[in-house]
Amino acid sequence: MKPFTTDNTNRRTFLRVGSSILALPFLETFANASAVARTPPKRLIFLGGGFGFTKDTFYPDKAGRFSEIGLTEGLSPLKRHMDDITMVSNLTNLGATDPHGGSVSYLTGANVAGTPGKRFFNSISCDQVAAQHLGKETRFSSLSLSAKESDGGQNSGHGSGLSLSWDDSGNPIPGVNRPLDLFYTLFANPKDSREALDERLKKRQSILDIVKTGGVSIKRNLSKNDQEKLDEYFTGIRQVEKGLERQAKWADIPKPDAPFDAPGEGLTGEEEIQMMYDMIIIALQTDATRVLSYRQPVCSVLAGMGISLKAHSLSHYGFSEPRTAASRERDKKCSALFGHFIDRLKEARDMDGSRLYDQSIVSYGTNLRSGHELKNLPALLSGGGTKGISHGRHLILPEKDTPLANYWLTLLRQAGIELDSFSHSTGDIPELLA
């Protein structure tokens, strides 16, 4: 197969070839042997897009089936998937207080600045809750993907943090932020050897041992508050140790050889997202993981569209006609990229020959509606894994400011995860299940 390039003509050629490869039956060679010949597992994918969308042209103003009420301009690129998407309105992340840091609490629901005595406090994100249940048998309990550092932060509406994911101690989880890095996460690197891996694992463990020894020796001389901080730090170290233990467990099971060449270094914007999407499909198809989150680039997408404004500036479109027009074009681009991902899920075959789409639950949205509005945020849902949810409609919930955590709880339960609650949830969303 030809290498990935940033040339559009060559890339379209790859995708035509790639779609046929992804449509092949599940390949045992690429899979964990224990995953073969079983009922396909559920998969959960959480996609975060940064700032919100144009108020008057993205959101439907009526509830009902899309086949009857139609799609808005901003959603129009999703027409071919009209019967396989659901938009939910009147969701609010009750923990979100910072309109510039939307993604920080998007999957956690925590009020990060609202805990007395703490400057910042986050909690576990719902993807990591899912990973604890769905990721026990896979090489990666979850994969957290992000954008380059230059395309994160407040300019993109993502705020601080390293990805959408936060561990069970509320610590940020670093995201894989380049297609090339994801490639070498999923596939065998010819430069690697078992000896080199063992050496890296030993070196990392040695560093952790030194840090722990030094920390214990000074703890007795610290104030109570500092001791609590140190305990939190040790909890983070324990998370790293668990990761090392998992790597050691899988060290004797080789990663598959890549069926194509590594992507180039310089992918940005739309091409970067499409390449990440394509490799997400392969990660799911080979059962490398069953849970993914992806904090997507925003500013580089705008730049690729010829829009010179940063996403933050564009969100203040107000009464500026050029900015409003640019915002509307950006909305359609985001919908088109989401549609591309649904295309890939429907083309790819699962381990039993069914569509990968049929066992997937895909959420796409942000913590902001339009401009800097923190209420009634956008929530798009797709995937055949939501057996209890009927797609193809716009659902306006009867209660304004329905907790976003209720939405996450509903999706977790749809994935077969039995939970009484998540974050600030008050229950699932019965209207979504009706």
Compare 35 and 196 and report the one with higher pLDDT.
Answer: 196
Residue 106: CB partners within 8 Å, gap ≥ 6? 48, 93, 96, 164, 365, 366, 367
The three-class DSSP label of residue 312 is helix
Question: Which CATH number does the domain 21-188+262-433 belong to among 3.40.720.10, 3.40.50.300, 1.10.150.170, 3.90.1150.10?
Answer: 3.40.720.10
Q: What pLDDT, on a 0 to 100 scale, did the predictor assign at position 15?
A: 37
Q: What pLDDT, on a 0 to 100 scale, did the predictor assign at position 119?
A: 79
Compare 100 and 288 and report the one with higher pLDDT.
Answer: 288
* Domain boundaries of the chain, sorted by first residue: 21-188+262-433, 190-254
Q: What pLDDT, on a 0 to 100 scale, did the predictor assign at position 17?
A: 35
Average pLDDT, stretch 240-256? 64
Mean pLDDT of the chain: 82
Degrees to nearest 5, angle at CA 424 with 157 and 119: 55
Burial of 195 by CB count in 10 Å (0-12 exposed, 13-18 middle, 19+ buried)? exposed
Residue 76: CB partners within 8 Å, gap ≥ 6? 332, 335
The three-class DSSP label of residue 161 is coil
Compare 231 and 52 and report the one with higher pLDDT.
Answer: 52
pLDDT digits 0-9 by tens, 264-301: 888 999 999 999 999 999 999 999 999 999 999 999 99
What percentage of the chain reaches a pLDDT higher than 70? 75
Average pLDDT, stretch 105-122? 86
Cα gap 107→130, rounded to integer Å: 11
The answer to whether the CB of 143 falls within 8 A of the CB of 185 is yes
* Least confident range of 22-26, 185-189, 190-194: 22-26
Compare 426 and 118 and report the one with higher pLDDT.
Answer: 426
Given pLDDT bands bounded at 50, 70 and 90, which one contains residue 18? very low
Given pLDDT bands bounded at 50, 70 and 90, which one contains residue 212? low
For the stretch 388-391, contacts whose Cβ atoms lie closer than 8 Å and that sit 24 or more positions apart, written own/partner, are 388/414, 388/433, 389/86, 389/414, 389/432, 389/433, 390/86, 390/434, 391/83, 391/84, 391/85, 391/86
Burial of 2 by CB count in 10 Å (0-12 exposed, 13-18 middle, 19+ buried)? exposed
Compare 206 and 24 and report the one with higher pLDDT.
Answer: 206
Residue 388 has pLDDT above 70, yes or no: yes
Handedness of CA 77, 294, 270, 31 (dihedral sign): negative
Residue 110 has pLDDT above 60, yes or no: yes
**Closest by Cα among 147, 328, 68 to 336:** 328
Residue 118 has pLDDT above 90, yes or no: no
Residue 236 has pLDDT above 80, yes or no: no
Amino acid identity, position 274? Q
Q: Which two tokens stand for residue 272?
A: 């970067």
The answer to whether the CB of 157 falls within 8 A of the CB of 102 is yes
Average pLDDT, stretch 354-381? 95
Cα gap 305→270, rounded to integer Å: 9
